[in-house]
Amino acid sequence: MSEPLITFDDLAIGYDGRAVLSGISLAIARSSFTAILGANGSGKSTLLKTLLGLQPPVAGRIHFASPPVFGYVPQTVELDSLFPLTGFDVALMGTFGRVGPGRFPPHDERQLVHDCLRATAADGFAQKKFSRLSGGQKQRVLIARALATRPDVLVLDEPTAGVDAAATHALLEFISQIHAERKLTILLVTHDLPLVRKHAQQIIWLHQGQILHGTVAELFTPERMAEIFEMGVG
């Protein structure tokens, strides 16, 4: 495993100064694939939002070996159906951080978006209205948008929620492919243990203030899994 890219140093996360999880001290290696597991309400999304700077930590700090560019794929995106945004328009939003507000993206940025849509197999429906796409198609567009940021770290918050089994399998295969090809650092929130076993390298498991961190090989042994489920981790 390569050098740490992200280090949580006695981090506490929560809202309005009240911690949901505290004492988080661990490192995420550069170019690693880390799955974040835990029951609903265990703090997974809060951890991601704190990492992304969308909310401040309650205590402790997050240290970056070098300032990373994040590509973020949320669980869902609510876009007003009155606005006729196509899949391409949504993916193009990934370039706005470089292009700047109110500016028309130049040709090279638009070409990058076409390339990202092709990479996610979303180019065939990119000109359709985003609100009319299926769940799996929307997720592919959102991953293309995240890739258009030219990220160092790809953060995915339950990207397969509400997506059928075939689409879930295809999305995870694609995420693993771009992880291998682009050497991206991947952080994936999911509930799907078989997919974690197949694709992830590291695991962060959260439950009622308890944090487990280790490799898939370490945490997915029969003995350790029995211990984890006795804790009630979901």
Residue 232: per-residue pLDDT: 52
The half-sphere exposure of 127 on its side-chain side, counting CA atoms within 13 A, is: 1
For CATH 3.40.50.300, list the domain ranges present in the chain.
1-68+182-234, 70-151
The band of 92, judged by pLDDT with boundaries at 50, 70 and 90, is very high
Report the relative pairing of strands 18-29 and 4-15 from DSSP bridges: antiparallel
Question: Lowest-confidence range among 72-76, 107-111, 126-130, 144-148?
Answer: 72-76
Q: Which fold has domain 70-151?
A: Rossmann fold (3.40.50)
The band of 78, judged by pLDDT with boundaries at 50, 70 and 90, is low
16: left (phi over 0), alpha (psi -120 to 50) or beta: left
Mean pLDDT of the chain: 88
Is the per-residue pLDDT at 233 higher than 60? Answer: no
Prediction pTM value: 0.86
Q: Residue 42 is inside which H or E element, if any?
A: none
Q: Which residues pair with 61 in a beta bridge?
A: 9
Residue 80: per-residue pLDDT: 58
CATH superfamily of 1-68+182-234: P-loop containing nucleotide triphosphate hydrolases (3.40.50.300)
Question: What's at 98, amino acid-wise?
Answer: R
Whether 4 contacts 30, CB under 8 Å: yes
Residue 164: per-residue pLDDT: 77
Whether 65 contacts 4, CB under 8 Å: yes
b/e sequence 183-198, b meaning 16+ C-beta within 10 Å: ebbbbbbbbbeebbee
> How far, in Å, CA of 143 to CA of 166, rounded?
17
| Residues 162-216: tens digit of each pLDDT | 777 887 888 888 889 889 988 999 999 988 888 888 889 999 988 777 888 999 9
Question: What's at 86, amino acid-wise?
Answer: T
